[in-house]
Structure 1
Amino acid sequence: MATKKDKNAPEAPRLLEPFALADLTVSDYEMEDKMPFETCRFVPGTVSNQSADKVLFDCVVFDRVTFDNVTLERAEFVDVVFDHCDLSNVVFRDAVLHRVEFNHCKMLGLDLSTATLRNVKFEECFGQYAMFRFADMKYVAFRDGNFDKSDFYEAQLNQTEFSRCELDQAQLVGAKLKGIDLSSCEFRTLSSTLEDLQGCIMRTDQLSGVAHLLGIVLKDD
């Protein structure tokens, strides 16, 4: 019997068959403002010391690519997969991401502040200290990842999923959590407000992580 698709699950990238993607070496390119990259696969390699504005990536796969000192503000990613990439401290501020997957990526300190995310999945990623401040998210899934100390300040979390993630000391002030299910996640404390937590779904044992918002001091037996 077919499994019913979750209506809130992110839509997968629409990619061509692998043999139809042109293989490129990312280090061969000096990225410039508004440069388009379409229907290609970046093979394993390192892109270093790059900065550009409004670069377009359409139907692109990044295969084990390391980004070192890279800033791509207002970039547009449509039907893109990042597979086993290192995106630590990369700056994608004000970017637009539509049907994008990050699979098994290292993204410590990745900056997606004020970005727009639609149909985006983060699968088994290490995203400690990642920044999603003021990001506008819809149909976004964080699954089986570590996002300790990540920053979702004032982010819009529409139809956003957190499944089996580590979220200790995540910054969630201003991010409305009504309907957000954190019951499969792990954390000792969260930074939030009582107003923002209204309607959030948690396990009973997780309440100690937000007890400080009520002025409650918990004492071990």
Structure 2
Amino acid sequence: MSKIKIEKPKIPHNLPSANFQEIYYRDEPYLDKCIISNCSVDREKMDKIEFSQVIFKNVKFNDISFKNIELTDVIFENCDLSNADFMEAIIHRVEFKESKMLGINLSDAGLGNVLFENCILNLSSYGYGSLKQVKFVNCSLQNADYYECKFKKVGFHQCDINDVNFSGTSLKGIDISSSTFERISVSLEDLDGCEVSPQQAIGFAAMLGLKVKE
């Protein structure tokens, strides 16, 4: 397991239940200190919406666009965020657990102290984003796009990273040794300092045209 330390969300015990529609009764698009569960949020489009100390549990988000969303001390558990638009998000001390996040757009986002655990993140986008102290654990990341991202203390533990695009993203100090893939898009220059398994090293050697004798 990666040694990267992630700060957990700071959430009070015994949060009161709330309804997403309560956000319309506030002067600003903001919700805090509550739990939203067993519901769906449909076709919502809001800019600069904020959630702080909120738990989302068994929530399905359908056709939502929350550009510039700010998430602080938030947990998503068993949620469906497929195709959600979180472009230019600010996400700090947040956990995504057992959630379906196919095609989620996190381009130009800033992520700090974020955990993705047992999530389906195929076709997710992080292009031009900044990821600091972020862990992906037992996640499917097929065809995910990390084009020109900035990584600092990012870990991929036992993930499926087949066909992931790391073009323009330095993997120095990034450990992908426990993850699986048949091919990924990455330049040899950006691989410098990446931590890989012996089997993966053979695959990367083939990129150089080398033939490794066993």
Aligned to 1:14: 10
CA distance in 2, matches of 1:175, 1:83: 29
Q: Does 1:102 align with 2:82?
A: no
How far is the alpha carbon of 1:213 from its aligned partner? 3.6
Q: Is the 8 A contact 1:33 1:52 kept in 2?
A: no
- Equivalences for 1:134-145 in 2 at 5 Å? 134-145=128-139
Which SS does the other structure have where 2:190 is aligned?
helix
Q: What CA deviation, in whole Å up to 9, does each residue of 1:64-86 have, x standing for no partner?
A: 10010000000100000000000
Match of 1:91 in 2: 85
Aligned residue for 2:19? 25
Give the structure-2-normalised TM-score: 0.92
For 1:81, which of 64, 69, 75 is the aligned residue?
75
Residue 203 of structure 1, aligned match among 197, 206, 213: 197
Hey, what's the Cα distance between the residues in 2 that align with 1:52 and 1:132?
A: 20
- Answering whether residue 141 of structure 2 is matched by residue 147 of structure 1, we say yes
Q: Which residue of 2 aligns with 1:133?
A: 127
Q: Distance in 2 between matches of 1:168 and 1:33?
A: 45
Report the residue type matching 1:64 in the other structure.
Answer: N
State the Cα deviation string for residues 18-69 of structure 1 (Å, max 9, x = none).
xx32212336765999401010111111101010100110000000100100
C-alpha separation between the residues in 1 aligned to 2:118 and 2:5? 16
1:15 and 1:207 map into 2 onto residues whose CA distance is 42
Partner of residue 123, structure 1: 117
Distance across 1 between alignment mates of 2:125 and 2:27: 23
Cα distance, 1:216 vs structure 2: 5.3
Distance 1:205 1:134 in 2: 30
Deviations 1:149-197 (A, max 9, x none): 1001111110011100000000001111011111100000010001100
The gaps in structure 2 that reach 5 residues or longer are none
Matches within 5 A, 1:49-88: 49-88=43-82
CA distance in 2, matches of 1:28, 1:63: 17
Counterparts of 2:76 and 2:194, CA distance in 1: 30
Q: Which residue of 2 aligns with 1:41?
A: 35
TM-score by length of 1: 0.89
**Shift, 1:100, TM fit:** 0.1
| 1:181 aligned residue | 175
Q: How many equivalent pairs are there?
A: 213
Residue type matched to 2:64 in 1?
V
**Cα RMSD for the two superposed structures:** 2.3
The structure in which a higher percent of residues are strand is 1
Q: Which runs of 5+ in 1 are unaligned?
A: 1-5
Q: Does the residue aligned with 1:210 lie in a helix, a strand or coil?
A: helix
Query: How far apart, in 1, do the equivalents of 2:167 and 2:145 lie?
Result: 9
SS of aligned partner of 2:200:
helix
2:157 is the alignment partner of 1:163: yes
Deviation at 1:204, TM superposition (A): 1.7
SS of 2:161's partner is coil
